[in-house]
């Protein structure tokens, strides 16, 4: 309980057999968590046995994917404030109280994993992932004129039950960019939100998404297109669509033209060099 509110934590699980029990114990040890709902998403053998040793409630979601699992958890949780996190050892139970402190003024509190001094030894948040997340977050911030965002991939976040009721009918993504869809729904439906720094630690076991650079780039591109598509769809009146994403088109054109100028310069230099021989 916190401030008279019941607190639920949602842990989607796929490949966290070796860390899930400790994660459940760590989050319960905060003393404020009333319920932990584990969403077993066709998880690794042995996961169920580990969860059974704890006080968490386990539900089974056959529809595969990060988004499908979290949506199920949000439907199952019974608390007033719902906190989503991952049971892979990356998130710190102590951040629960930080999210709750901000819940006094906001209906959704997003975490960000890009705060240098909170990135733990061995955490999967090198330069590429940190600045990649930051860049996509800035695109979202600019195109939707939001408050500060610096991460589009942080699972750890708090949502109040009433805020969830305002956005839940808009969930469509079962896969890895569900977290971004939730952010877009929050910023576009008049929900009060803030982003705050959370710890990000080394993962226990193997990552199935951002641990693979190719998958991470693919996810990043998908997220950029998803944000642009949302911006186009929400442009009012529809004739303002081009204007809505014009700054992005100009930036891309500029980057390409700079690259193009360099390329033409290189050609000219090579041509001159040959002429001089």
Ligand X SMILES: Nc1nc2c(ncn2[C@@H]2O[C@H](COP(=O)(O)OP(=O)(O)OP(=O)(O)O)[C@@H](O)[C@H]2O)c(=O)[nH]1
Q: Which is nearer to Mg ion, 58 or 88 (CB)?
A: 88
Q: Which is nearer to ligand X, 160 or 203 (CB)?
A: 203
Q: Which is nearer to ligand X, 9 or 143 (CB)?
A: 9
In the set 26, 35, 50, 86, which binds ligand X (CB under 6 A)? 86
- Per CB under 6 A, 111 contacts ligand X: no
- Per CB under 6 A, 12 contacts ligand X: yes
Q: How far is the CB of 41 from ligand X (least distance, A)?
A: 4
- Per CB under 6 A, 211 contacts ligand X: yes
In the set 7, 10, 38, 69, which binds ligand X (CB under 6 A)? 69
Tokens of 217: 């780039």
Q: How far is the CB of 124 from Mg ion (least distance, A)?
A: 8
In the set 19, 90, 112, 114, which binds ligand X (CB under 6 A)? 90
Chain centroid to Cα 165, Å, comes to: 20
Q: How far is the CB of 26 from ligand X (least distance, A)?
A: 14
- Per CB under 6 A, 64 contacts ligand X: yes
Which segment (61-69, 163-171, 186-194, 267-275) binds ligand X by CB under 6 A?
Answer: 61-69
- Per CB under 6 A, 89 contacts ligand X: no
Q: Are strands 157-160 and 81-84 parallel, antiparallel or unpaired?
A: antiparallel
Q: How far is the CB of 32 from ligand X (least distance, A)?
A: 21
**Contact residues: ligand X, CB under 6 A:** 12-16, 41, 64-66, 69, 86, 88, 90, 124, 203, 207-211
């Amino acid at each position: 309980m916190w401030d008279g509110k019941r607190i639920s934590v949602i842990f989607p699980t796929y490949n966290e057999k070796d860390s899930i029990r400790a994660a459940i114990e760590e989050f319960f040890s905060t003393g404020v968590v009333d319920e932990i709902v584990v969403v077993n998403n066709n998880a690794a053998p042995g996961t169920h046995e580990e969860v059974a040793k704890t006080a968490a409630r386990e539900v089974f979601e056959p529809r595969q994917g990060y988004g499908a699992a979290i949506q199920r958890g949000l439907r199952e949780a019974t608390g007033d404030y719902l906190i989503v996190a991952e049971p892979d050892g990356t998130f710190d139970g102590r951040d629960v109280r930080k999210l709750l402190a901000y819940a006094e003024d906001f209906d959704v509190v997003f975490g960000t994993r890009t705060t240098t001094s909170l990135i733990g030894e061995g955490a999967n948040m090198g330069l590429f992932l940190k600045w990649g997340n930051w860049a996509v977050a800035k695109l979202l911030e600019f195109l939707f004129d939001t408050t500060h965002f610096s991460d589009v991939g942080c699972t750890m976040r708090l949502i109040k039950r009433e805020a969830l009721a305002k956005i839940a009918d808009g969930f469509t993504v079962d896969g890895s960019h569900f977290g971004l869809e939730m952010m877009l729904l929050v910023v576009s439906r008049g929900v009060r939100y803030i982003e705050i720094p959370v710890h990000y630690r080394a993962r226990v076991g193997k990552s199935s998404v951002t641990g693979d650079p190719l998958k991470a780039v693919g996810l990043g591109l998908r997220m950029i297109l998803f944000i642009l598509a949302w911006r186009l769809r929400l442009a009012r009146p529809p004739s303002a669509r081009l204007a809505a994403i014009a700054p992005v088109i100009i930036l891309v054109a500029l980057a390409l033209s700079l690259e193009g100028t360099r390329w033409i310069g290189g050609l000219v230099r090579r041509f001159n060099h040959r002429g001089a021989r």
